[in-house]
């Protein structure tokens, strides 16, 4: 009888220890699963792309963009060829080396660099449409034109907002 009582006490003592040990090992497994899932779900910071000239995409036209300083997620380029003049409110816009948001370190220039004045003739050879997300997360677009002041195609070119030049 003493033997049965000792066996019963021993089993009553071992069963709770087994349950506690089992539950601790299952908690560790679920934490390791969650950690593995968290490592698999990393988000890339540069997932969208910039497209080269034309509307047909090829492997060597795709370049990654840096989105930290900008909200631009795509730029589409189109070749154009026309002459126009600077608009009355061109001073409200800036001259850029690249389309704003397309490159990480874009440079801006003063209008005095091209001796700008209202009605100054400029040559336009490319148009870019930049797609971006505004503060509300809505998709917006802005058009930019690449201008030069000389007729020569090899002269210095600048990007300006569509508001800086006269529309035909």
Judged on CB neighbours under 10 Å (0-12, 13-18, 19+), 67 is: middle
Sign of the C-alpha dihedral, residues 26, 31, 37, 40? negative
Specify the pLDDT at position 71.
Answer: 77
pLDDT one-digit tens code per residue, 28-74: 555 555 544 544 444 444 444 444 444 454 545 544 443 334 578 89
22: confidence class by pLDDT, cuts 50, 70, 90: low
Specify the pLDDT at position 82.
Answer: 94
Residue 86's DSSP bridge partners are 165
pLDDT one-digit tens code per residue, 147-166: 999 999 899 999 999 999 99
Specify whether the CB–CB gap between 75 and 51 falls below 8 A.
yes
25: confidence class by pLDDT, cuts 50, 70, 90: low
101: confidence class by pLDDT, cuts 50, 70, 90: confident
Specify the pLDDT at position 158.
Answer: 96
Q: How far apart are the C-alpha atoms of 141 and 112, rounded to whole Å?
A: 28
Q: Above 60 in pLDDT, residue 113? A: yes
6: confidence class by pLDDT, cuts 50, 70, 90: confident
In terms of pLDDT, which residue wins out, 111 or 34?
A: 111
């Amino acid at each position: 009888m003493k033997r049965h009582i000792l066996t019963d006490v021993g089993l009553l003592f071992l069963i709770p220890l087994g349950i506690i040990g089992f539950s601790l090992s299952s908690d560790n497994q679920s934490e390791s699963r969650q950690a593995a899932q968290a490592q698999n779900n990393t988000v890339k910071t540069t997932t969208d792309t910039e497209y080269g000239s034309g509307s047909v995409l090829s492997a060597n036209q795709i370049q990654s963009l840096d989105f930290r300083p900008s909200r631009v997620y795509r730029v589409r380029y189109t070749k154009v060829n026309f002459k126009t003049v600077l608009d009355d409110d061109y001073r409200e816009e800036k001259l850029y080396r690249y389309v704003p948001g397309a490159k990480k370190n874009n440079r801006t220039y003063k209008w005095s660099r091209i001796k700008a004045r209202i009605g100054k003739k400029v040559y336009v050879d490319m148009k870019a449409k930049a797609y971006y997300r505004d503060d509300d997360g809505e998709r917006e677009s802005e058009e930019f034109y690449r201008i030069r002041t000389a007729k020569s195609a090899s002269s210095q070119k600048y990007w300006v907002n569509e508001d800086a030049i006269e529309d035909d």
